[in-house]
Structure 1
């Protein structure tokens, strides 16, 4: 299917510029041509009048927590939160324990639709659901693919729910990365969602987890998605344990 957007103002990021009165030709899922008169000899299945409108490349959200999409506007008595660690303990670590498969599915749909509505077409997600670990990344992938948004996701490894939860998080990262790679090699599924290996924050990741995560990174060839220095506590903990700045 060929779609033509006629006469729009096309915003380009590299190099940054605005091209007025542009035609944009889309063949299937690829942009075939952009420019003045680019659609002159094109037979289109659909023509969209872009007069007075702006068209720009999809934005990338480089860090998101899709599981939190349904919490927007929630009023909860979470107690005093004088620092970031208190916010985690009193709010986010309580919320993520309540996530099950259904909640995660609808959170993914909500976050993906919100992203597209704002012009964001790619999401780099960082996930946690301690009571629903195995298969959780599949639910996110399926929801993103259903809406049509691109991105990557991972499970945040942490010891805050015990060693079993920590090891389950590492295995979910490994399993999902291997699954994504196998699907890519078969080529029979849309390649919209990729995999990273995820870690929560250095203050909740022990040496054993780092070592196992390093093994999984080598095994899968995937990158690491990790929170770093979000609060003074993270920096202080690094000084105490390692005698080094965290960055």
Structure 2
């Protein structure tokens, strides 16, 4: 598991019992989430845009303000933090499309990581919405743990779920030999980073969500 520890543990816990029983989880986060100081004031009539649960956790409590979110998991975390959270799609394209349709007139703050995908704020600004991108956390790259390195080097089959292009690129950088690796990518954009001919197999989830990733895992190896 290459996501940050809490996200990896939550994903494993969400798997169906039959799927979880087939695997021995090894946690080796390739990204560390580091909150950053908030550089702007969020006013009572401002609304947030959240493309990940990490953004919600690094942001202030919602205090009833509106938040437009990607995915049900991020929406639920935002609701728990006091935001009037509304799911606006399952990926960046869906969020941009739906926000263009809603066209909120108040100020929008995309509270994200330093490294973002989908150019959410840029595309919405071009559509005429009043939006700024504010980084509220950093995603610092990490090496594989010694245990994970040993397993990849010696095991006959290793299944590696990958949830972002940046994590996929880091995995390749720190993994000299991927011949035993069955990679499962959350999206085609992540799969495009991976050299399919150097892997044991490459599977792409049908939708960019945890349920589809779990379904993809159930058919691997």
Q: Which has the higher contact order (CA 8 A, sep 6+)?
A: 2
Tell me the TM-score normalised to structure 1 length. Answer: 0.28
State the TM-score, normalized to the length of structure 2: 0.30
Higher-Rg structure is 1
Q: Per residue, is there more helix in 1 or in 2? A: 1
